[in-house]
């Protein structure tokens, strides 16, 4: 777990300190405690913060870095000339330092080599909890029941609980029997800075009445993470009093069954991250423009707005997800000079788009992740507008196109940074595979959704010498394709392949046997006849028997007509 040089240093230090230090931390913990002592000052709070995540939790790095920044754990460093780092960039460097010191493990890497998820070993987490308790850094709560005679702050690793009045950061793990979100005793409300909930998907409250109202008692809260209040709870309202929590920097109600966006949210002028990707169709009042410190804004896939939203005042905005063109003038987006991730829906005609884009200067060229969605309710063709938007975002590494796009922008072949591409229900012409297979650095390709190819395309061909860098391929829910050919020399770097739900294929391509680097093949919800062919005694098994990991789900039985 530890680098050999640092391990030697830590063991030597333990011998120097004597027996008492070993007794204080039992077993291997004493070596790990020395590793904590060895951390630079700026990394220690970042490390301790990891302790609030549940055991064996896969931690989203994108979320973690935003939380670190909102907590004030990250400080700006001197900038190199001509290079502007964001606070999240610095936070990612801090995470990389923790990984190099072997106290954090990498979960998944992204297509550009960045860390997507991370985790910590159980022993490391135990150390986090011990040190966090010693320094009154954070506390773990394990449930809130009607009978609160016992201390809610319990942990086998923490010898004694911090007095409630001193708690600054609190993570609560709710079980299905919890009947409230907030302790009725309220001792912590005047001091708490950070409140994070886990396991809300399993929570079944006895009543939804005033379910979220008690949260508004935390007047100095900077962090509120309340994700996943979902189908086991009836639709709940976010109380308007939340607008009085003016110190909030981070607010996330992602995947929750919330049906209101109170106009009082406009009072939260310190917000840096607002994640409102809820499950319901709701009305968004014109108050977002007041949140001038916003760096990351996530809105629902379905919402209404009485007037145009005005994001032009959000000069710090790096992430804008999700913005229908019918609720926004694209000129307002042009002024967002720090934008890196843009998710836009073309739901109305964009007049003079070419002139507008030419006037953007370098704004759109800063975008790294672009998602263009087409409103299926509209009958207009947006093919030319999509081409214009994509053509000006030449530095993107990630591109998603959802909706009718028969022809891809030819400029894609010149995009040196493009590594991830997802195409859904695009109605691609059969000659478009020639563009895709020439993308020089593409590592991830997802072809998903009905009508991804036009109705005349029945055969999918991956040609020799095509997709040289592709490592992951997903072919999912494309019933129009009935035959797939993989020529020898295609996709030589492919490591993972996913097929399923249901494609029109009746057999696997013979060319899979040439994919010698293929390490994992996942097949889900394919017809029963297809499944019988990939069994060990089936006709197609010889094509995939070289793959170390085969994940075969249950077959799909179409409904009886």
Residue 339, Ramachandran bin (φ over 0: left; ψ between -120 and 50: alpha; else beta): beta
What pLDDT, on a 0 to 100 scale, did the predictor assign at position 303?
87
Residue 157: per-residue pLDDT: 38
CA-CA distance, 519 to 256, in Å (whole number)? 36
Query: pLDDT, tens digit, for every residue of 495-550?
Result: 999 998 767 888 999 999 999 999 999 998 888 888 889 999 999 999 999 999 99
Most confident of 251-265, 300-314, 365-379: 251-265
Per-residue pLDDT tens for 109-128? 887 789 999 999 999 999 99
User: 325-339, 351-365, 505-519 — which one is most confidently predicted on average?
Assistant: 505-519
Among residues 404, 545, 429, 523, the alpha carbon closest in space to that of 473 is found at 523
- Residue 346: φ, ψ to 5°: -85, 100
1 pLDDT above the threshold of 70:
no
**Helices marked H in 248-288 — which ranges?**
none
- Label the pairing between strands 398-402 and 420-424: parallel
Q: What is the pLDDT of residues 186-236, one digit of tens each?
A: 544 677 899 998 876 666 666 665 567 677 778 889 999 988 876 566 677
CA pair distance 268, 292, nearest whole angstrom: 9
pLDDT of residue 253: 92
Q: Is the pLDDT score of 299 beyond 90?
A: yes
Dihedral sign for Cα atoms in the order 494, 496, 500, 506: positive
User: Which of the two residues, 257 and 11, has the higher pLDDT score?
Assistant: 257
Would you tell me how many other CB atoms lie within 10 Å of the CB of residue 449?
A: 16
Of the pLDDT bands very low, low, confident and very high (cuts 50, 70, 90), residue 185 is low
Q: Are 451 and 429 in contact (CB under 8 A)?
A: no
Q: Taking the chain, what is the end-to-end CA distance rounded to the nearest angstrom?
A: 57
Position 329 pLDDT exceeds 90 = no
8 pLDDT above the threshold of 90: no
Average confidence (pLDDT) over 266-279: 94
The single residue listed with the structure tokens 């609030």 is: 52
| pLDDT at residue 456 tops 90 | no
How far apart (Å, rounded) are the C-alpha atoms in residues 322 and 372? 10
Angle between helices 29-37 and 122-134 (to 10 degrees): 60
> Cβ-count burial of 109 within 10 angstroms (0-12 exposed, 13-18 middle, 19+ buried)?
exposed
pLDDT band of 15, cuts 50, 70, 90: very low
3-state SS of 49-60 is HHHHCCCCCCEE
Q: Is the pLDDT of residue 22 over 80?
A: no
Name the token pair of 440.
């020089």
Q: From CA 396, how far away is CA 398, in angstroms rounded?
A: 6
Query: For residues 544 and 512, is the Cβ–Cβ distance under 8 A?
Result: yes
Tokens of 173: 């793990």
CA triple 88-70-96, angle to 5 deg: 35
Tell me which residue has tokens 């003038």.
329
4-17 and 29-37 helices cross at what angle (nearest 10)? 100
Between 77 and 551, the more confident residue is: 551
Summarize pLDDT for 24-46 with one digit per residue, the tens.
445 566 777 788 888 999 999 99
The pLDDT value given to residue 16: 45
pLDDT band at 92 (very low <50, low <70, confident <90, very high): very high
Classify residue 6 as left (phi > 0), alpha (psi -120 to 50) or beta.
alpha
- Read off the pLDDT of residues 158-182 as tens digits, 9 standing for 90 and up: 434 445 556 789 998 877 666 667 6
Per-residue b/e over 456-492, b at no fewer than 16 CB within 10 Å? ebeebbbeeebbbbbbbbbbbbbebbeebebbeebbb
pLDDT of residue 39: 92
The yes-or-no verdict on residue 354 having pLDDT over 90 is no
Quick one: pLDDT at residue 160?
46
What's the mean pLDDT when you consider all of the chain? 83
pLDDT of residue 161: 47
Determine the 3-state secondary structure of 321 from DSSP. Answer: strand
- Contacts of residue 431, defined as CB under 8 A and 6 or more positions apart, other chains included, come to none
């Amino acid at each position: 777990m530890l680098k050999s040089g640092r391990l030697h240093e830590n063991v030597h230090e333990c011998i120097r300190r004597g027996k008492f230090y070993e007794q204080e931390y039992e077993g291997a913990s004493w070596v790990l405690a020395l590793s904590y002592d060895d951390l630079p000052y700026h990394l220690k709070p970042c490390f301790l913060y990891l302790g609030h995540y549940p055991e064996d939790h896969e931690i989203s790095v994108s979320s973690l870095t935003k939380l670190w920044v909102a907590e004030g754990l990250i400080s700006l460093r001197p900038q190199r000339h001509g290079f502007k780092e964001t606070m999240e960039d610095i936070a990612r460097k801090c995470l990389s330092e923790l990984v190099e010191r072997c106290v954090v493990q990498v979960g998944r890497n992204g297509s550009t080599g960045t860390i997507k998820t991370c985790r910590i070993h159980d022993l490391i987490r135990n150390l986090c909890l011990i040190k966090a308790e010693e320094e009154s850094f954070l506390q773990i709560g394990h449930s809130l029941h009607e009978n609160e005679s016992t201390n809610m702050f319990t942990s086998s690793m923490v010898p004694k609980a911090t007095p409630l009045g001193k708690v600054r950061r609190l993570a609560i793990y709710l079980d299905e029997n919890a009947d409230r979100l907030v302790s009725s005793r309220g001792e912590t409300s005047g001091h708490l800075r950070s409140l994070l909930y886990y396991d809300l998907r399993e929570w079944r409250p006895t009543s939804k009445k005033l379910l979220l109202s008690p949260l508004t008692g935390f007047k100095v809260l900077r962090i509120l993470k309340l994700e996943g209040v979902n189908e086991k709870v009836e639709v709940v309202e976010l109380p308007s009093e939340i607008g009085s929590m003016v110190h909030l920097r981070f607010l996330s109600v992602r995947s929750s069954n919330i049906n209101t966006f109170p106009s009082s949210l406009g009072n939260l002028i310190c917000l840096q991250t607002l994640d409102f990707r809820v499950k319901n169709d709701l009305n968004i009042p014109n108050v977002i423009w007041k949140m001038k410190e916003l760096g990351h804004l996530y809105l629902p896939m379905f919402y209404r707005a009485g007037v145009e939203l005005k994001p032009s005042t959000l000069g710090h905005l790096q992430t804008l997800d999700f913005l229908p063109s019918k609720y926004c003038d694209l000129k307002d987006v042009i002024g967002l000079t720090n934008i890196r991730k843009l998710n836009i829906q073309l739901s109305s005609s964009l007049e003079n788009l070419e002139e507008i884009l030419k006037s953007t200067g370098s704004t759109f060229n800063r975008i790294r992740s672009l998602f263009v969605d087409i409103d299926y309710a509209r009958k207009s063709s947006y093919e030319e507008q999509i081409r214009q938007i994509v053509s000006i975002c030449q530095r993107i590494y990630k591109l998603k196109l959802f909706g009718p796009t028969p022809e891809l922008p030819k400029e894609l072949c010149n995009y040196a940074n493009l590594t991830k591409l997802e195409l859904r229900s695009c109605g691609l012409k059969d000659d478009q595979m020639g563009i895709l297979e020439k993308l020089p650095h593409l590592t991830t390709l997802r072809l998903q959704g009905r009508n991804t190819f036009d109705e005349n395309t029945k055969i999918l061909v991956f040609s020799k010498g095509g997709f040289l860098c592709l490592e992951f391929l997903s072919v999912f829910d494309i019933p129009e394709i009935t035959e797939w050919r993989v020529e020898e020399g295609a996709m030589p770097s492919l490591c993972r392949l996913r097929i399923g739900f249901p494609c029109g294929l009746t057999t696997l391509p013979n060319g899979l046997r040439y994919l010698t680097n293929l390490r994992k093949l996942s097949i889900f919800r394919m017809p029963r006849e297809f499944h019988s062919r990939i069994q060990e005694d089936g006709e197609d098994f010889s094509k995939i028997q070289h793959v170390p990991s085969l994940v075969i789900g249950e077959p799909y039985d179409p409904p009886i007509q």
